Amino acid sequence: MQRGTWLGLKEQCSAVAESSASRKGVRRAGQQRWWEQEITVNGNIQKGELITYNLTELIKPEAYEVRLTPITRFGEGDSTIRVIKYSAPVNPHLREFHCGFEDGNICLFTQDDTDNFDWTKQSTATRDTKYTPNTGPNADRSGSKEGFYMYIETSRPRLEGEKARLLSPVFSVAPKNPYGVTNTAYCFSFYYHMYGQHIGSLNVYLRLKGQTTIENPVWSSSGNKGQHWNQARVNIHPTTSFQLIFEGIRGPGIEGDIAIDDVSIVEGECMKADQPANTSAFPYGIFQSVQCQCAIYPYLVNSGLSAC
């Protein structure tokens, strides 16, 4: 689901009777046109020999049909067609995950292709000299101007209410205990920067495996929070494989950049460092307002206090 990113895959095929070349055809599932290329090899391909090559023109998460036709001295042989589908990476058993967005693949986070615009990886040292003043961070969460973070750029042509959504990798929860109920808690934390007179909203959702249209809100904050990084920590209790979604919403003007950094998911509940807030206005959970804001919604049953 990452627009503009090429996905490298490998296909393996067994050749037939003394072929010296193959014709490879690739097309996106549901389309008519094949993109074809002839693949030559040194010498003849013997029967039963295994040939490996890379397909570099695929874009995730699209599905593709790949057609391979052997070329022999007698002409073209019978074609073989296979379907290649993208599967999101899964952490076999999540115990600890940390991401500062320093590596090239941004820790396998991906852009949502159903939103209006994308999150951008940036450092203060490499940002555009024409950046909008009076909004956005002056450094990453650690204070480094060379360190990276993810942010939404709210300058024109962005419009009020437009959304940018960033999807985490898919994580697996601990295996179920055959002798009792397994209810693994995870402490989900991240730093966020919301500085500017036009700041919109930052929302975080939890999506469970198989629930592509159901997203459970776990945290939300809106408005100007000052020229500094704040930390949010939320206890989550997923019952199956899950992923987290960061949703930035553009506010009423260009001084509304929102940034995130140092995302962590650790097995076990967060430290309860803060006192409970008055919950009368939020009958379904606890909403706190200290130097940051965080929320626990009905989905996070019995998760206790969320500490910021």
Name every residue whose Cβ is closer than 8 Å to that of residue 238 and which is 6 or more positions away in sequence.
Answer: 171, 173, 184, 186, 206, 208
Q: How many independent structural domains does the chain possess?
A: 2
Question: Is 261 inside any structural domain?
Answer: yes
CA 159 to chain centre: 23
Span 36-80, pLDDT tens digits: 887 777 766 666 667 777 777 777 678 888 888 888 778 888 888
Question: Does one domain contain both 78 and 110?
Answer: no
User: Are 28 and 63 within 8 A, CB to CB?
Assistant: yes
Residues of the chain with pLDDT > 70, as a percent, come to 71
Look at residues 55, 84, 113 and tell me which one is the last residue of a structural domain.
84
Question: Is 237 inside any structural domain?
Answer: yes
Question: Is 301 inside any structural domain?
Answer: no
Residues of the chain with pLDDT > 90, as a percent, come to 43
Is the confidence at residue 3, as pLDDT, over 50?
no
Is the confidence at residue 26, as pLDDT, over 50?
yes
Span 126-178, pLDDT tens digits: 877 677 889 999 999 999 999 999 999 999 999 999 999 999 999 988 666 66
Question: Is 62 inside any structural domain?
Answer: yes
The Cβ of residue 12 has, within 10 Å, a number of other Cβ atoms equal to: 9
Q: The domain containing residue 25 runs over which residues?
A: 6-84
Strand stretches in 137-197, DSSP E: 148-152, 163-167, 170-171, 186-194
Distance CA(100)–CA(140), nearest Å, equals 9
**Token pair for 159:** 């419009």
